Chain A
Amino acid sequence: MALNRDFVGRASAPSSPYEVSRVKIKEFATAIGDNNPIYRDREAAQAAGHPDVIAPPTFPIAIGQDAGALLADPDLGLNFAMVVHGEQRFEYRRPIHAGDVLVGVTTVTDIRSVGRNEFITVKSEVSTVEGELVCTAYNTIVERGGAG
């Protein structure tokens, strides 16, 4: 089913504040097989100039289920069983570190058909609760056969 183009420009409410913990960063680093001490050891992170352990570049995906509410809206018409990831990008103002309390606001920036597939792009601005923009994530997902 074609996706509802009226969703372009629509933004989510700010997500609930997410507190970044050392334990979660370590769990994520372990899951991607990365033993870098800057993800695990506060002293190693501080030696590299960070206030605490920092998160791997792709970590925001673990806290960014915020797009979920927008994408799960039945009026959009997205069939999750047919979804694959098309593109992803993270643009950082500074690294995310343990102790950050983050909120995300997600906006649908584009919906288009390519062949028989539907492509939807969302932009998520991840900021601290104090209002400092930390990272902007761009995510394009593909609904296979959606335009067929």
Chain B
Amino acid sequence: MAATVRYDEVETGQQIPAAEYPVRRANLVMYAGASGDFNPIHWNERFAKTVGLPDVIAHGMFTMAQGGRFVTDWAGDPGAVIDYGVRFSSMVVVPDDDQGTVITVSGVIEEKLEDKRVVVALTAKANDSRVLSKARAVVQLS
């Protein structure tokens, strides 16, 4: 494992610039197929509404994957992410149009640990709501 970020070059409180990840219905269909989660709330508006949802919502794991992508892109080597956990705090509603929605992820170095490891705290928002809370990754730096 070889992160491109060096432990000595990061400081607690350092910000990682935000990135935007568009999500459209097609992404959810692809994610359903790749993950094996075919729950119709993620692709069938009619069904989603019968169970009290406003519209089709993204898989929580799709949203978590975008946060993961943010951290792995920062680290350089995805294998450097040794622990990653989130709480799903709000739904990502994905309308059936050509725009979909956008998940915006940003991060901050929350803590420097021993053995050149750091804790990255993530913020993920969509439609002006925080969609992940308690989102933390432990990254092994070089």
Residues of A within 8 A of B (CB): 24, 27-28, 30-34, 36, 38-39, 48-50, 54, 56-58, 61-62, 65, 80-92, 94-95, 138, 144
Across-interface contacts of B54 in A (CB, < 8 A): none
Contact A31 B31 (CB under 8 A): yes
B35 contacts partner chain A, Cβ-Cβ < 8 Å: yes
Binds A, one of B7-15, B73-81, B111-119: B73-81
Nearest chain B CB to A62 CB, angstrom units: 5
Contact A89 B34 (CB under 8 A): no
Q: A33-B69, A58-B68, A88-B60 are in contact. Are A27 and B88 (CB under 8 A)?
A: no
Contact B84 A89 (CB under 8 A): yes
Contact B61 A58 (CB under 8 A): yes
Contact B1 A90 (CB under 8 A): no
Contact B78 A56 (CB under 8 A): yes
Contact A84 B27 (CB under 8 A): no
* Interface size, B (range): 35 or more
Nearest chain B CB to A20 CB, angstrom units: 13
The total of Cβ contacts below 8 Å across the A-B interface reads 115
In whole angstroms, what is the CA distance A49 to B79 when docked?
Answer: 9
Residue from B39, B66, B82 in contact with A32 in the complex, judged by beta carbons closer than 8 Å: B66
Contact A92 B21 (CB under 8 A): no
Most B Cβ at <10 Å: residue of A30, A48, A58, A62: A58
Query: What 3 pairs across the A-B complex have the smallest Cβ distances?
Result: A89-B85, A85-B60, A31-B34
In whole angstroms, what is the CA distance A126 to B43 when docked?
Answer: 29
Residue from A38, A48, A81, A87 in contact with B86 in the complex, judged by beta carbons closer than 8 Å: A87
Q: A49-B2, A56-B72 are in contact. Are A85 and B61 (CB under 8 A)?
A: yes
Across-interface contacts of A138 in B (CB, < 8 A): 85
